[in-house]
Amino acid sequence: MGRYWRVWRAFAKSCLEREAQFRASLAAGLLRSVVWLALGLINIEILFSYTDAIAGWSRGQMWLLLGIARLGESALSFAFRGNMERISSYITYGDMDFILLKPISSQFAATLRYIDIYQAPQMLINLGLIGYAFRLMGRWPSAGGLATFAVMFPCGIAMLYALWTAVSTCTFWLVRQAPNIVEILDSLYGAARYPTRVFPEFLQFILTFLVPLAFVTVLPAQALALGINPLYPLGSLAFAAASLYLSHRFWTFATRYYTSASS
């Protein structure tokens, strides 16, 4: 575990050095993040000019939910997106050869090699938004709430990492289609910025169990703002462990079908 942490830090450092050359992109990336955040906030403000609560969630709680959802998005992009987008080209061009030869887990080397450092300032902005949401609610989170959040949010991220890895793993067979499947996840993420109870049951089920976005957004937000049944953090842990294990098994299984690209 310690070795993998050291390797990951070396990966992160090389990304940082590489990106330091393109500082103008940082400004563009930040602008993009700020305008989309503004869009989300304007949307909430207009909705709340016609109501006091959406499915029992107050205006401050909706700000909190938006902040957590965006924090999740930027965390996922920070650590995973760049890697998942590259997997299809590793397989198409045969670069997977070098990944399989490395003396570390090939899943680790393929799915955690790159970080997107531009997401770091965005994560800070989203943390600021979360803080501001608590000011709107007029109270601070309880210690229990914070602790539950600290368990559930990373578990949610781990579940989505596992799902994303599993989808990207399909690239071993479906070279071209698999990267696009991920866009379904992006589309559904829009729904995960609202309390799940707003939606009909089939969609609640999809957002909770099939594509577990609720574990990154609505459920941690609920833990932080309203308190949540202790079964949820326990369930999150179990669900995260199981999905990580299964996605790893799937990856190992799939690499056996890899037939290199050249000669």
* Binding region for other proteins (CB under 8 A): 24-25, 27-29, 31-32, 35-36, 38-39, 42-43, 46-47, 49-51, 54-55, 176-177, 180-181, 183-184, 186-188, 190-191, 194, 198-200
Toward other proteins, which CB reaches closer, 105 or 204?
A: 204
CA distance 134 to 65: 11
| Radius of gyration for the alpha carbons in the chain, expressed in angstroms and rounded | 19
Cβ at position 222, least distance to other proteins in Å: 17
Query: Torsion over CA of 61, 65, 71 and 72, rounded to 10 degrees?
Result: 150
Cβ at position 99, least distance to other proteins in Å: 26
Toward other proteins, which CB reaches closer, 53 or 234?
A: 53
**Residue tagged 């866009």 (tokens):** 183
Cβ at position 87, least distance to other proteins in Å: 17
Question: By 3-state DSSP, what share of the chain in percent is helix, strand and coil, each rounded to 5?
Answer: 80, 0, 20
Toward other proteins, which CB reaches closer, 44 or 224?
A: 44
Cβ at position 30, least distance to other proteins in Å: 9
Cβ at position 253, least distance to other proteins in Å: 24
3-class secondary-structure state, position 54: strand
The continuous run of DSSP H or E covering 152 comes out as: helix 143-169
Residues pairing with 57 in the sheet: 54
CA distance 83 to 72: 17
Of residues 93, 130, 125, 88, the one with CA closest to residue 110: 88
Q: Check if the beta carbon of residue 187 is closer than 8 Å to that of residue 207.
A: no
Toward other proteins, which CB reaches closer, 92 or 180?
A: 180
DSSP secondary structure code for residue 216 in this structure: T
Cβ at position 161, least distance to other proteins in Å: 21
Toward other proteins, which CB reaches closer, 120 or 151?
A: 120
Q: Check if the beta carbon of residue 41 is closer than 8 Å to that of residue 126.
A: no
Toward other proteins, which CB reaches closer, 5 or 50?
A: 50
Cβ at position 54, least distance to other proteins in Å: 6
DSSP secondary structure code for residue 210 in this structure: I
Q: Sign (positive/negative) of CA torsion 117, 118, 124, 127?
A: negative
CA distance 243 to 249: 10
